[in-house]
Amino acid sequence: MTALPVRALLRLLLATLVLHLLLIQPNHPAAMTWQALLLFPLELPLILLLLIAARGLAATLLRGFLAVALTVIAVLKTADFAMFTALARGFNPVADLVLIDAGLRLLSGSVGIVPAILTGLAAILATCAIAAATWWATGVWAALSVPRGVRPAAGLSAIVFSGLVLAQIGESWGKWRLPVSPPGAAFTARLGLERGALIRDTMAELRAFRLAAATDPLAEASGLLDRIDRDVLIVFVESYGRTSLDTPYYADLHRETLRRNEARLQELGLSMTSGILEAPTRGGQSWLSHATFANGLWVTDQTRYGAALASGRETLFHIAARSGFHTAAIMPQITLDWPESSVMGFDTILAASDLGYRGEAFNWVTMPDQYTFSALDRLLRDAVTDKPVFAQFATGSSHAPWVPVPQLVSWDEIGDGRIFNEMAASGDTPKEVWRDRDRVRLQYRKAIDYALDTVFAYAALHAEDPPLLIVLGDHQAADFVSLDDTAQVPIHVIGPPHLVSEIDAWGWTPGLIPASDSPVIAMDRMRDLLIEAFSSGIEVAEASR
């Protein structure tokens, strides 16, 4: 074999570097280190040997396969990286595709529509560039001229390396232990196999979930929720998690806020009890918690969410509607069409455009929570007089990017919301704040405090004729913000003593601060627990069972 010209050698080295970088690309923020460059991908010699061994049509097909496979896995790694950063979990190719649109909308709200569009275009161009680079790199090696006899030897060596790749993958999965550790890792091949298995398992899980969703023991029951003699408001406080109780940086402020409001509400004659729920998500995707709470099904991803909607199962709001309530959803962050709402059991939907807000947006947050509560009274509770209201309310002010944070104003001065304009224009931009994680945490701390104060101020405002308020977090914030890796959220029930006492059997803690050893209840149990507690003729369940 003659020596290669310098230019040809440089092409080989560059082609090898392209493949090497694709194979060692991390899929988790913790792996984004300089040491990652030193990782030896066991797939690399296997790929090079196969390219040397293949000829003609086989070489072309192999290059096409590698270009598609490596590009797809590179995109999956990037999606994993984004999901681990934002939602503290990996990317599910079946369930999470719809989040791309939601992510772009959130990005446009944070940095503007033009940068968001440019980001989307850059992602498409980057994907095309990866595919083109892979096709070129594999072509350089496939075109390498080698002496007779080298190709068969390369093919036999490829078989050996494929065995080494499989052996290392099996060891990483704990299937066996090798007598000698391989000189590298087959991370990319392992990730590809794991994603294939995830797709298979998700589809199987979906079939089982649809079967479970079709069975509802309360579907034929009557006389439900008849112990409730007033409006019911289920308030999901955005990003409110257990970290507000346990992590000193947040608990020092938020516990004091809870204690102060507890004392105030007690003086006004209201009763309170609090517990801890296990949420189906953390870091985002509030709608999964909304669906879990309403359906009584464990809805952990978009696939299950779709299955719950398609199942025909009655939500808590369907049951409330046929029990004599006017059901509603107050969703200030819904700015586009919401077709799924047609099967959720709501008589009325108040999305962002329905709430009459004429003030400035708080970046991605459409309006302050206090305004939304005032609109709730004006447009729903004061307008519906023939039935009590049973509503889901999703707050927005404690949603990322947490800049700027509103302040409470007099309820009489809220009007159409323009009183908040000066607040909406105050402080630094999200881009400036999000350069520093400590500043992000500070803004989150302030935003949750505002959200809690607003909810309890609303309860105090209506203390003379109080609704039954069920206040809970939808999920923890992302791990780097919450400094807590659990998926647990607080829940508070506030109302007149005769109603709050109906859930004494649950063993929760009186007041607004749940005990540290309070039993953790899965959020999907709340639908049935509420119906059992507030329906005559149905045995009250123990929440800790």
User: How confident is the model over 400-436, as pLDDT tens digits?
Assistant: 999 999 999 999 999 999 999 999 999 888 888 888 8
Q: Note every long-range contact of 408-411, with CB atoms under 8 Å and residues 24 or more positions apart, other chains counting.
A: 408/370, 408/450, 408/453, 408/454, 408/457, 409/370, 411/370, 411/374, 411/457, 411/461
Per-residue pLDDT tens over the stretch 169-198: 998 888 888 888 888 899 999 999 998 888
Lowest mean pLDDT among 52-56, 247-251, 520-524: 52-56
Which amino acid appears at position 268 of this protein? L
Mean pLDDT of the chain: 90
Tell me what pLDDT residue 542 has: 47
Secondary structure, 3-state, 57-99: HHHHHHHHHHHHHHHHHHHHHHHHHHHHHHHCCCCCCCCCCCH
Q: Cβ distance 493 to 504 under 8 Å?
A: no
222-533: CATH superfamily: Alkaline Phosphatase, subunit A (3.40.720.10)
Q: Please report, rounded to a whole number, the percentage of residues in the chain having pLDDT higher than 70.
A: 94
Tell me what pLDDT residue 34 has: 85
Tell me what pLDDT residue 228 has: 96
CB atoms within 10 A of CB 191: 18
Domain parsing of the chain, residue ranges: 6-203, 222-533
| Among the listed residues 204, 394, 214, the one whose alpha carbon sits nearest the alpha carbon of residue 297 | 214
DSSP character for 268? Answer: T
Assess whether pLDDT exceeds 80 at residue 65.
yes
Predicted TM-score of the model (pTM): 0.72
E-strand stretches of 109-226 = none
Structure-model confidence comparison of residues 286 and 38, the more confident one: 286
Mean pLDDT on 505-526: 95
Taking the C-alpha atoms of residue 539 and residue 125, their distance in angstroms, rounded to an integer, is 60
Assess whether pLDDT exceeds 90 at residue 395.
yes
| Among the listed residues 282, 287, 335, the one whose alpha carbon sits nearest the alpha carbon of residue 108 | 335
